[in-house]
Amino acid sequence: MEKVVIVTGANSGIGLALCERLLTEDTQLRLCLACRNMQRAEAARSALLTSHAGAHVDLLQLDVGSVESVLNAAKVVKSRYNRIDFLYLNAGIMPNPQVDIRAFFKGLFSRNVINMFATAEGLLTQQDRLNSDGLQEVFATNLFGHFVLIRELEPLLCQTGHTSRVVWTSSSNARRSAFSIDDIQHRKGTEPYSSSKYASDMLSVALNRRMNGQGLFSSVVCPGLVMTNLTYGILPSSFWTLIMPIMWLIRIFTNTFTLTPYNGAEALHWLFLQKPESLDPRAKYHSLTSGLGTNYTEPRQMDIDGETADVLFSKLLELEKGVRRKLCERNADNEAHQRYLNEIE
């Protein structure tokens, strides 16, 4: 039986590299590229079919930063497939990154250079904004949209006698110090990316606590330091030209500088080959590359409190109700929205 695999943010970077590796591993799987920009998604699909003629690659329009787009995409998925084996939650944004240049150059020639590049701690902030749903954009895209997607696809993910997997692309920048359970959208802070990634780590733990018994298993991956469009957007191109030779040199001495999307997708691909029962629900699986260029995966325990993770899950449920209630009011003539509104009243 062919596996059904959905990858969000699949048109470039780590998402596209993962799709390439999955098709190389299993030519029979049914792969769905869930992307916001359909022109880029079509280009990615064409590239995959060029290297994997005869592969079954579907496209799905999905903007995880918009709840309405998520609901529409979920409806398409439920009409197209009768189950989901893997749901890779890879889409994410880091808008308007601002780098403390003084701290950057100070760290560049210090003992802390590896940690600085790996975590961006004390170096990187972002300016967030509200989206059309009235939510903080980074929170909505990196976490909440994916949460709603999982909720909508539960009938395909949780089936008797069937095991399904949810895999989050997290970050080494996911830090507990950036997250507050009293401000899950990070409205008051300046590190929304770090906060959203730590929240996704927490949500993965909460999903395992709640849904392993229903056959749904969640895992978290850190791709390491990868040069993608998101990474290149942090600094001007002239800076990258200056420091890339230094980064390749540092890579000899650290395994977290995976650098290429292919290497960064190592743990995502590795999880595809594992039985979920053998995995640690509280571990983050890191893509690592040795100084000699060998890729491997290593689990590391996450700094997550299970009870706090459950509180986050409950807060997301309440937020989902509120957002969907607003959508119902906005689309008063939509029968599906009205049906949901009646259910939650």
- Note the pTM of the prediction, 2 decimals: 0.89
**d(Cα 81, Cα 73) in Å, to the nearest integer?**
12
pLDDT (tens digit, 9 = 90+) per residue, 99-132?
Answer: 666 666 666 666 666 666 666 666 667 778 999 9
CB–CB of 219/204 below 8 Å?
yes
pLDDT (tens digit, 9 = 90+) per residue, 139-167?
Answer: 999 999 999 999 999 999 999 999 999 99
Report the pLDDT value the prediction gives residue 258, as an integer from 0 to 100.
81
Report the pLDDT value the prediction gives residue 335, as an integer from 0 to 100.
60
Q: Which domains does the chain have, with CATH numbers?
A: 4-343 (3.40.50.720)
42, 153, 167 from 213: Cα distances, Å: 37, 17, 17
Q: How many CA atoms lie within 13 A of 11 on its CB side?
A: 16
Section 273-297 average pLDDT: 94
- Which of these is catalytic: 81, 88, 193, 340? 193
Cα-trace Rg, the chain? 20
Please give the residue that has the higher pLDDT: either 334 or 267. Answer: 267
**d(Cα 56, Cα 45) in Å, to the nearest integer?**
10
Report the pLDDT value the prediction gives residue 305, as an integer from 0 to 100.
94
CB–CB of 199/184 below 8 Å?
yes
Please give the residue that has the higher pLDDT: either 117 or 37. Answer: 37
Q: Is 193 a catalytic residue?
A: yes
- Inform me whether the pLDDT recorded for 35 exceeds 80: yes
